[in-house]
Amino acid sequence: MNDAPDPTLFAPALGGLELRARLLGQPHLEDYITFVQTRTVGGERADVRALADEWREANDHYYELERTEAGIADDIERLDVEPELAPLIAELQAQPRFSPAHDPLPSRFELVEAHRPVVSQQSVSLNFVETLKSGLGLAPSPERLFRFCQPIEPPQAPVRAQRLDDNHFLFSSDSSDFRAHDATLLRPAQILELAAADPMSAIVAVPVGFGSNVLHAIETDDRLILQNGYHRAYALRDLGITHAYCAVQTVTRRDELKLVAGEPVIEAPEFYCRAKRPPLLKDFFDPKIRKVLNVRRMSRMIEVKLEVREYQVVE
């Protein structure tokens, strides 16, 4: 398979295209065919039989890796964080966004091998990886590396907001991390700049934004499953940096897994937690199971509709 990248496509918005490295050979063949047909340039004309053949070759390679690398996910090197980085950890934990992301289970920080975490995300944007690499360098200090892996205030992609009518809103962003957060009830004092003609008693807010975008993994069954920070981990591996600072939460039973894991892991816990040779981050660098594709950029859109009803009831 030809996975030689076209460097001209690393431009941030060239023709609405990007390069994505995608894993083959693991669940599921149908997902891979659909991805190529709907997302890649010329994918609607792709030879489905050829796609199935290359996926099958990658799947055969994984079977070979089960023999030669059985248990590799359970032998990831994990080191203590240097004491001098304690102030950075305290600064990060003091951020308002840190607690909601890590409250369900206790978390700690470790220095872990960058290429051995189990992965459930099947593709990464090489354009974004190049942007991350350009801001780090080849030999970062421990402090700089920590800030790269655990950014205090990660940059956010632009968000476009439209009001379609009185109670109908549309938000969009080019970031695949764009998401809606849980609705919340606020007091008027919490929104100081909100203007209203009449006195207010409460405010219903529907936040939209992004995830934490830091290196975060779940420890379960003696292995680490990467949850967030795929592009940062890929960038480190691509730069030849062997270890990364990672927030780790330990899961001791399947019910806890449902609180902190992503959907693919929740749907197939035995595969990601117990397979002899699950997909690892280093697989993105193996041409036998990785393919680089020219992909159409996709915008994520969040539509918010508010329905307000007023009642009178007899108490």
Could you read off the pLDDT of 179-214 as tens digits, one per residue? 888 888 888 877 777 766 678 888 888 888 877 778
pLDDT, residue 99, reads 63
In one-letter notation, the amino acid at residue 75 is D
First to last CA, the chain: 72
C-beta of residue 218 within 8 angstroms of C-beta of residue 120:
no
pLDDT, residue 290, reads 96
Q: How many residues does the chain have?
A: 315
CA 267 to chain CA mean position, Å:
17
pLDDT, residue 2, reads 39
**β-sheet bridge partners, residue 200:** none
Residue-by-residue DSSP string for 94-153: TSTTHHHHHSSS-EEEEEEETT-SB----EEEHHHHHHHHHTT-SS--HHHHHHHHS-SS
pLDDT, residue 63, reads 95
Nearest to 232 by CA among 158, 148, 113, 291: 148
Q: What is the mean pLDDT of the chain?
A: 88
Widest CA span in the chain = 73
pLDDT, residue 1, reads 43
C-beta of residue 27 within 8 angstroms of C-beta of residue 271:
yes
pLDDT, residue 100, reads 54
* Whole-number Å distance between alpha carbons of 264 and 247: 20
pLDDT, residue 251, reads 94
pLDDT, residue 285, reads 97
Neighbouring CB atoms inside 10 A of 271's CB total: 16
pLDDT, residue 195, reads 64
pLDDT, residue 3, reads 42
Residue-by-residue DSSP string for 232-282: HHHHHHHHT--EEEEEEEE--SHHHHHHHS-HHHHH-HHHHHH-SS--BGG
Q: What is the pTM of this model?
A: 0.84
Ranges in the chain, pLDDT < 70:
1-15, 99-103, 154-155, 195-197
Residue 2 region, left (φ>0) first, then alpha (ψ -120 to 50), else beta?
Answer: beta
